[in-house]
Amino acid sequence: MNVWAFFVNTMDRRFRLIRCCVAFLYLSLHFTDGDVSYLVAEEIKRGTVIGSIAKDLGLGIATLSSRKARIDTDRNDKRYCDISLSNGDLIVTDRIDRESLCGKKATCVLKEELVLENPLELHRISIHVQDINDNAPEFSEDLILFEIRESAIKGAKFPLTEARDADIGSNAVQDYSLQNNEHFTIHVDSAPGGRKRSELVLSKELDREKDNELKLVLTAVDGGSPRRSGTAVIHVIVLDANDNAPVFSQDVYKASLPENSPLDTVVVTVKASDVDTGSNGDITYHFDHMSDDRVSLFSLDHKKGELRLVGSIDYETDTSIELRIRAKDGPGLTSYCSVMIDITDVNDNAPAISLKSLSNPLPENTKPGTEVGIINVQDRDSESNGQVRCSLQQGVPFKLVPSIKNYYSLVSTGQLDREVVSNYNITITATDEGSPPLSSSKSVQLSVADINDNPPVFEEESYSAYVSENNKAGSTLCSVAARDPDWRQNGTVIYSLLAGEVNGAPVSSYVSVNGDTGVIHAVRSFDYEQLRSFKVQVMARDNGSPPLSSNVTVSVFISDVNDNAPQILYPAPEGNSFMTELVPKAAHGGSLVSKVIAVDADSGQNAWLSYQIVKSTDPGLFTIGVHSGEIRTQRDISESDSMKQNLIVSVKDNGQPSLSATCSMYLLISDNLAEVPELKDISYDEKNSKLTSYLIIALVSVSTFFLTFIIIILGVRC
Ligand code: CA
Ligand code: CA
Ligand code: CA
Ligand code: CA
Ligand code: CA
Ligand code: CA
Ligand code: CA
């Protein structure tokens, strides 16, 4: 059997070498003990001669038939061959499939027996079935599924399922190959028992974001001739790893936001994307290191990336705001962007007017064009919203002159007069050029300080005072008044008399004036009969520095009082004279016989005299002219009339009350003076001479006064 084994092994190698060109081969081995072996390839055609068994066994072909030669099996197994009785060949009668007969056994032998009768002979036949490559490698599944995380490192190995090949030896799987690809190679090695096994080796890292799956054809080949192969598809599903941070669509987002925008205004929406999947690609947005005051201004929707306004924005505080926003995926990879918010101005500030300086009070003699104040105007807005124009109201003698930058000079434009306008309420209005414009105004109170520019002015051009003679000293004659519109001292009026003379005496001996009230008093009692009128000059002076003054003339008129009784000049008063008038006896009625002459120092009614006979010897004989004082006969003189006639005549003035004087008139009815026995010469009358001297003095006085007056007039003229 050792020799057999060697033979078979040797033959096996030889057959393997030549089987390409030989359809089948057989060997017939003849052993004296009656056993024979053949080598036959599987799947050989029916009818194919395996060997000439009769010859190999040394059996006579002619006897085969008679000896009922036949093939039998040990255990009624299936017969795969039979003997041809005609030529003694062993021929194939059924399909010989090594795989079904022996599986993966390395050797496959069919045991048959050749039976001959008469005499009975039994020969064992061993048919060695040789494998041919009639089976291709086969994978148990067409699709081999792998889930590999993209984070798998280079060199990572993934064992592959083996392919099955029903053939054996070199006809079984000898190698694996993998479709060319950039990520995987295949590593094949031998397992104990000669099997080949393979592993998928990661030669280049995967990137799910580039290819999330791969399909590779895995091929298993056997070593037969021709070679057979089988394939399966390796489906690699690339699992995600968080290898990508979120990426903002822009590094910098720019937005423009008007100040005072309403709350909840969406300022900008930031957007980041993450190519990873699942939570690796779930992005949330957050503020990055933001100060508290900014946090109170904005809110960020963590999911949508909407940046909303939640506070009030003031351009005057910040003209731009920069925020940093962070995008974070589930596991925590982050990236950043900036949001630049340009805040635009809105006209929300009215101009503010401030008074920087003011000359207050302002003297009324300030010249037009003088700078009296400086005004500053500020508007916190910018550009045209902060461009300000200033104006004053109409009707004040001031104007605004633009000066440096936001400063304006308040300049007077006209002559001031405190006495006309003592206070100015100047309204300054500032308006910006925003749309709509805002404006504000400021009132400036400006007082005008007094200058003594007005002299006192008397209310009347001249004054007249009327006073009755015999007034009491100190009585009020009249009052003068002057007005000075200036302020306080400048307008305080003091009255005084101007020096002068009346009748050669200082005027102050006649009148005085109250310096404060302007009331003029008589200093003495006046006598109309001495002085009928006079003029004085009163000065009104203010208390300014220097003082201003003006004068006025006060005419004092003295009126008459009935203080003088009539004075009878003729006849001489009773007792002091003895005068007798002769009345011719032939005098007819109505003849003028005498005249009473009286004077009165008063004037007017006070001096209008009336005459009356109050007593007479013969009341019917004489009559007196009421105003002429002429004594006339009422009727013709008769012989029976008494020669001596006495008349008492009363002379009365017309004053209230009236004053009177009486005199006696002696009449002698006679044609001859010698007839008058008691006639005496008119004696010297002391009273008469006294009166005469009074008259002379009065005349001289009037003349002197007249002359003095002329001299004064001339003096004043000169
Ligand atoms: Ca086979
Ligand atoms: Ca990823
Ligand atoms: Ca503004
Ligand atoms: Ca403004
Ligand atoms: Ca004045
Ligand atoms: Ca003044
Ligand atoms: Ca008088």
> What confidence score (pLDDT) does residue 112 get?
86
Least confident segment among 109-113, 657-661, 676-680: 676-680
Q: Is the peptide bond before 159 cis (omega within 30 degrees of 0)?
A: no
| For the CA of 238, the nearest ligand | 2
Q: How many CA atoms lie within 13 A of 626 on its CB side?
A: 2
User: DSSP states of 637-677 as a string?
Assistant: --TTS-SEEEEEEEEE--SSS--EEEEEEEEEE-S-GGG-T
- DSSP assignment of 44-103, as one string? PPTT-EEE-HHHHHT--HHHHHHTT-EEEETTSPPP-EEE-TTT--EEE-S---HHHHHT
CA of 525 to the centre of ligand 7 (A): 13
Q: 277: CA distance to ligand 2 center in Å?
A: 7
Between the CA of 435 and the centroid of ligand 3 the distance, in Å, is: 12
Q: Looking at 75-79, 197-201, 217-221, 625-629, which range is the least confident one?
A: 75-79
Length of the chain: 718
Asked whether residue 156 carries a pLDDT value surpassing 90, the answer given is yes
pLDDT above 80 (res 220): yes
CA 451 / ligand 6 centre spacing (Å): 4
CA 151 to ligand 2 centroid distance, Å: 8
Asked if residue 139 has pLDDT above 60, the reply is yes
Place of tokens 């009585």: 475
| pLDDT on residue 22 | 33
Residue 530: helix, strand or coil by DSSP?
coil
Q: Ligand 3: distance of its center to the CA of 382 in Å?
A: 7
Distance 476 CA to ligand 5 centre (A): 27
Q: Is 555 exposed, middle or buried (0-12, 13-18, 19+ CB in 10 A)?
A: middle
The closest ligand to the CA of 244 turns out to be 2
Per-residue pLDDT, averaged over 107-114, amounts to 88
- How far apart are the CA of 659 and the centre of ligand 3, in A? 103
Phi/psi for 61 (5° steps) reads -60, -35
Residue written as tokens 């005027």?
A: 507
What's the 430 CA to ligand 4 centre distance in angstroms? 10
pLDDT tens digit sequence for 514-527: 999 999 999 999 99
Task: Give me the DSSP letters along 480-502.
Answer: --EE--S-GGGG--EEEEPP-EE
236 closest CA partner among 300, 274, 179, 284: 179
| Ligand 3 midpoint to CA 617 (Å) | 127
**Distance between Cα 260 and ligand 3 center (Å):** 8
**In this structure, are residues 300 and 285 in contact, taking their beta carbons and an 8 Å threshold?**
yes
Q: What are phi and psi of 174, to 5 degrees?
A: -110, -25
Percent of the residues in the chain that have a pLDDT greater than 90, as a whole number: 65
**Residue 390 to residues 381, 382, 439, 467: CA-CA distances in angstroms?**
16, 17, 9, 67
Which residue in 373, 364, 453 sits closest to 414, CA to CA? 364
What is the model's pTM? 0.56
User: What gap in Å lies between CA 573 and CA 575, rounded to an integer?
Assistant: 6
- pLDDT tens-digit profile of 337-367? 999 999 999 999 999 999 999 999 999 999 9
Query: How far is 222 from 168, CA to CA, in rounded Å?
Result: 9
Residue type, 546: P
Tell how far the Cα of 312 is from the centroid of ligand 3, in angstroms: 12
Using CA atoms, how far apart are residues 321 and 308, in angstroms rounded to an integer?
14
Q: How far is the CA of 374 from the centre of ligand 4 (A)?
A: 21
- Ligand 2 center to residue 240 CA distance, Å? 5
Cα(606) to ligand 7 centroid in Å equals: 7
Please tell me the number of the ligand nearest to residue 544's CA: 5
In this prediction, residue 579 carries a pLDDT of: 64
Characterize the bridge pairing of strands 143-149 and 229-239: parallel
CA of 495 to the centre of ligand 7 (A): 33
**Nearest ligand, CA of residue 562?**
7
Mean pLDDT (the chain) is: 87
Which residue, chain included where needed, has tokens 């010859």? 55
For residues 635 and 583, is the Cβ–Cβ distance under 8 A? no
pLDDT at 689: 56
Residue of 632, 630, 626, 631 whose CA lies nearest to 654: 626
Q: How far is the CA of 493 from the centre of ligand 1 (A)?
A: 156
Minimal CA–CA distance to 495: which of 452, 453, 537?
537
Q: For 479-496, what is the mean pLDDT? A: 94
Ligand nearest to the CA of 656: 7
pLDDT attached to residue 666: 85
Q: Under a CB-based contact definition with an 8 Å cutoff, are residues 420 and 407 in contact?
A: no
Q: Say if residue 452's pLDDT is above 70.
A: yes
Beta bridge partners of 306: 269
pLDDT bin (cut points 50, 70, 90) of residue 18 is very low
- What share of the chain in percent tops pLDDT 70? 90
For 135, counting Cβ atoms within 10 Å of its Cβ (0-12 exposed, 13-18 middle, 19+ buried), the class is buried
Kindly indicate the confidence band of residue 461, based on its pLDDT and cuts at 50, 70 and 90.
Answer: very high
* Nearest residue to 198 (alpha-carbon basis) of 232, 224, 171, 244: 232
- Report residues near ion ligand 2: CB below 5 Å: 208, 240-241, 243, 276
Q: What is the mean pLDDT of residues 544-549?
A: 93
Tokens representing residue 123 in the block: 């020969």
At 708 the three-state DSSP class reads: helix
Separation of alpha carbons 550 and 539, rounded Å: 6
Distance CA 117, CA 72 (A): 13
Distance 382 CA to ligand 4 centre (A): 7
Specify the range with the lowest mean pLDDT, choosing from 13-22, 333-342, 369-378: 13-22
Structural tokens at position 141: 């599944």
